[in-house]
A and B are shown apart, each in its own frame.
Chain A
Amino acid sequence: MTHSADVATGPDLRALAVARIARQRLVALAIPAAILAYLVYIFFAFDIAGLANRLRVDNMVTLLSDTWSYKTHVTRDNRSGDVEVAIEGERQGTYPAGEAPDWVSLGSDRTEIVLDDGHVVVFEGADVRYDIPGYGLVTAGHDGRRIVLETPDGSVPDFISASNARVDITTEAGRVSLTRTRNEVFRYFAGWELFFFTLSSPYHGHGPLEILFGDRIDPDRSNIAGAWQDFWGNPMWRHADVVWALGETILMAFLGTMGAALVALPLAFAAARNFAPLVALRFAVRRVFDFARGVDALIWTILLSRAFGPGPLTGTLAILLTDTGTFGKLFSESLENVDGRQIEGVRSTGANALQRSRFGVIPQITPVLISQILYYLESNTRSATIIGAITGGGIGLLLTQAIITQKDWEEVTYYIVLIVLMVMVMDTVSGWLRSRLIRGT
């Protein structure tokens, strides 16, 4: 066509090409430069340099050690002289008075605590003697209101922090702490404490084989039923509540997604160019979709929780409203792309409008519909976790509560693992359903 003309104006073409290449080079340089400039701006706007100061290293250590280990407290109340052993210092993990695990031997006024690697701590009255292998015997006691520390060589090493009001000795085997009111020893163990049974359950300390095949442990209940009851009702880990919360989150996602699809489908017909004859109606419905999407789940959640209070219904309705907008837009777009010939064919049999859409339109858009709905079902499981954190329902609430207390990081880890598993299962199920249903139609 115009090739000959272009060739005729050879030098111009060359100049043009050179100019274009130069511009291309400039763009290729300008975009990374712009991104770099933006990142530099962010570096100062977000105060990345100050992050190192704000980073709470102690929190990180607590978090990391707490996720895979737990500690048992041996506490001597210095007013009454009573010694108590409690797992994680919690009420539900407290051993009954006079009982202790085998590494603690309780005496009338002398308690011996055996830690790992030959470390031994002895409570002798109000005094504490800690025999550290390779270092020597450290003694700490109370002298009136003061706390006095004696070390083998008289100096205070790095792993001991001592003042008149408090002494802390931290070794790899555990931690000893003395204050005026109490002397405490912490011993660390790997794992999650009392995950199956709390100390109040008779099944604590019995292995699975013993429970399944051994003698009846609790005379009132059969082993399996009793163990299940105590596990399910575990007051520390609250397995029943956690499962309920997971169910609630999935319920929010399911009801929200399906409800939105049911509401959006008929509305989408009113918003599609080839089905809605009235321009005004089409315009109005589209703006409704844009509004529902634009307001966003966050604002819907806030508005709805004012009317319905916190709970799964609020979360469901928030997802339903947001996704009605999304689905409406997606469905009306796919309705605009349907093939008119099939509808004509159905019309030629004398079908009315409803029958035409049922047999002429719906079968065409089903694959798109199903794949969108299933995709959003999976994505809404994640949204429901987040909305649950705001509106107070489901696993999201449990997670935020556990994080806010800043204490039970093993529970936080447990919830995170459950959430990730839940999302992955929903992902797999929706993928499987998609391949089954779409191939089936």
Chain B
Amino acid sequence: MADIADRGAPASANIHETYLAMVRRKRAYSFALLIVFVALMVAGFSVANDRNAGGFIQGFPQILDFPADVVGEAWQNVSELPGHFVDFFPALVETINIAAVSTLIGASVAIALALLSTRGLALWPRAIPVFRRLMDIMRAIPDIVIALVLIFLMGVGPVPAMLAIAIHTAGALGKLFSEVAENADLKPVEGLRSTGARWLQQMHLGVLPQVAPNFLSYALLRFEINVRASAILGFVGAGGIGYELKNAITWGQGQFAESAAIFLMLFATIVLFDQLSSMARHRLVHGGKA
């Protein structure tokens, strides 16, 4: 008994000390990291502040001036608001259409790209890296870049925005879809292959039914994002509600009632589609009527 305790004591003291030393070192590292992080944040904010046209300190009291102007003017002309809603409704529909079509096209391309770049499912296994790189590039190019170039080629309108968002959507969804498809059960595919089904039939009947709920859920999430993207691209000249917003804001004082109407419509649309899609996704993921 005694010698066991004798032998145990120094060892445990050793362990205890090593443990404390490790804790101290970990704390020192964490502290150093924290200092670096805080320094980065502070330096970053001061650089951003210096390079901004107006500083944070001068600007902060004015932060509510513009909203107050807009709300004030809109309140005076509150009777005009319903008229503005009606006027801008077609533009809003265009924005939503851009988002919907680009999600549809993007998701369809993404399904093809995902299946072609998933190990075990790919039609040409050797080409998997090619399709992966392709998706990486499609994802990496911000939609505004494609949209601006296409506006130069096709003129102002919804089509450049639609194509730009669709390309980005195909890349972004393709990656997510391929992650889902990787976890699909291969047995149905093998069963179908044994009956002599072609690749398209294997995918359509063996893989898609398994992954459809997840695919749909990701596509809906993307649709939420695309509604926002389509509004933003409108602002740089791709039509829709963003374009109207830019015009209303550029006209400035006197048109603030219009700006307020557009702000409200945009906000309501974004919230509405967020809610709808989150309800639908909840149903898809948890099954049945949740």
Contact = CB atoms under 8 A, between A and B. Distances in A.
Query: Do A and B share a complex?
Result: yes
A166 B230 CA distance: 44
Interface in B243-272: 245, 249, 263, 266-267, 270-271
A45 interface: yes
A299 B266 contact: yes
15 contacts: A35-B104, A45-B97, A46-B101, A56-B153, A252-B48, A259-B41, A298-B232, A308-B56, A313-B45, A386-B142, A386-B143, A386-B144, A390-B236, A416-B145, A420-B141
Interface stretch (B63-71, B77-85, B178-186): B63-71
A229 interface: no
A48 B235 CA distance: 21
A293 interface: yes
Interface string A408-436: 00001000100110011001000000000
B73 interface: no
B55 A308 contact: yes
Interface string B126-147: 0000000000110011111100
A19 B104 CA distance: 30
B49 interface: yes
Interface of B: 37, 40-41, 44-45, 47-49, 51-56, 59-60, 62-63, 65-67, 94, 97, 100-101, 104, 136-137, 140-145, 148-149, 152-155, 157-159, 162, 228, 231-232, 235-236, 242, 245, 249, 263, 266-267, 270-271, 274
Interface of A is mostly: helix
Given A307-B59, A307-B63, A298 B228 contact: yes
B142 A419 contact: yes
Interface residues of A, number: 62
Interface string A295-318: 111110011101111111110100
B97 A46 contact: yes
Contact of B48 (A45, A306, A313, A399): A313
Given A54-B155, A310-B53, A46 B66 contact: no
Contacts of A293: 274
Contact of B140 (A310, A312, A314, A427): A427
A406 interface: yes
A393 interface: yes
B49 A313 contact: yes
A310 B249 contact: no
Contacts of B148: 399-400, 403
Interface string A22-64: 0000000000000100110010011110010011100110010
Contacts of A295: 267, 270
Given A56-B155, A259-B41, A311-B53, A389 B48 contact: no
Nearest to B231: A298
A308 B145 contact: no
A396 interface: yes
Given A35-B104, A314-B52, 18 more contacts: A56-B153, A59-B153, A248-B51, A254-B40, A255-B44, A255-B45, A298-B232, A306-B62, A308-B52, A309-B54, A313-B45, A313-B51, A316-B45, A316-B48, A412-B149, A416-B141, A416-B145, A420-B141
